[in-house]
Each structure stands twice: as C-alpha cells, then as structure tokens.
Amino acid sequence: MDFSKLNRLLWIALAVIIVVIAAAAVADRVMHSAVPATAAGPAAEPPAQSEVKTGTKVGLAAPDFTLPTTDDKEFKLSDYRGKNVILNFWATWCGPCRLEIPAFKELHETYKDGDTVLVAVNSLDNLDSALYYAKANGLDFIIPVDPRGVVSGLYNIRGMPTTYFINDKGIITSIKIGPFIGINEIEERMDSFK
C-alpha cells in the first residue's frame, strides 16, 4: 500500500469538504443579505397571520403540520403560536446534523423556560432510530418524527440540516441551510424574531 498516495487522497478529500462547507456558508450569507433593513422610526404593525400567504420563504406564514414525537405525544406547529419556534430538520445518518447537536442542547437548556421553543423534526428515519439517538445523546427537546419525509417535502428541504426561524405570529423570519457550530450563531438568527 502506497501511504503517500493515500495521504494525498485524504488531503484532497479534506480540501473538498472545506470548499463545500465554505460554499454553503457563502450561499447562506448571500441568501440572507438580501433581506431589506427596516427604516428608522416607529415600526409598522405586521400583517395578521391570516393575511400572510403560506409558504417556505422568509416573510411567509410557516405551513402547519402534525407529527408524532419520540415521547409518544403529538406535535402540531400551530399549537405553538404565541411562541418563537426554531424548526430544525435533521436525520440520525446526517453527519453535519450531528455537529450541531451540542449547540441545540445548550440552546434548549438556556431557553426552555422562555418564549422560544426548539423543535427538531427527524426526517427519513424510523421512530426507533430517532428514539435511540435521542436517548443516547440526552436530547430532551421536542422531536417530531417524519419517516416518509412528508413534512420535509412540505418545507422544500433540499439538504440537512435546515433550520427555519418562525416568530410568535407564525411567520418565517430566517432560514439556515447547514449546521450551526455554536449557540452564538443560533442566537444571532434569533434576532430575526424581533
């Protein structure tokens, strides 16, 4: 076995991974830099949720859904109207999803008694896999299970993890494609709730 060739291949693979992550970060920045800044002065009253079109883009009302959870309950998004919701789509087999688990655990501990709810939709996994992963990693936030990817399809999920920030009126205020590295990055996005 030629170790120098193997070493070279490993370095090339690492470089490709770094380029892909950097491209995702740049795309995310570009996508969110186009959001217009609000004018100075008194804020205009936002439209009522019923007046806002439903969709999966910033400024639209988040589509409602109902799914079973890993703790044998039922999660319905509209039941959380009045609270800010961080809606994350992930899977146990998704490597980048695993990177953000520590940040989400810290976020949940910090905000669990406040007006922000973390909801991590497990997509394209079976209930047993999701339940085992949640128990093994000490995840005690809400984990709805979407084994067939129906809700992922409703939200046009193209890659995981993807996170939607939904304000207390049910309006999408920010979208992040790719993993969060730390709680600070999530908290920056939470500013969009205001």
pTM: 0.75
pLDDT band at 5 (very low <50, low <70, confident <90, very high): confident
65 and 150 both lie in a single domain: yes
In a domain, 44, yes or no: no
pLDDT above 90 covers what percent of the chain? Answer: 72
Q: How far apart are CA 193 and CA 185, in angstroms?
A: 14
23 and 66 both lie in a single domain: no
Number of domains in the chain: 2
pLDDT tens, 156-169? 999 999 999 999 99
Backbone dihedral region for residue 54 (phi beyond 0: left; psi -120 to 50: alpha; all else: beta): beta
Q: How far apart are CA 114 and CA 190, in angstroms?
A: 13
pLDDT tens, 67-84? 999 999 999 999 999 999
Q: Can you give the CATH number for the domain in which 174 is found?
A: 3.40.30.10
Count CB-CB contacts under 10 A for residue 102: 14
Task: Enter the tokens of residue 185.
Answer: 């990055």
22 and 91 both lie in a single domain: no
95 and 9 both lie in a single domain: no
17 and 82 both lie in a single domain: no
pLDDT tens, 82-130? 999 999 999 999 999 999 999 999 999 999 999 999 999 999 999 999 9
110 and 156 both lie in a single domain: yes
Structural domain harbouring 29: 1-33
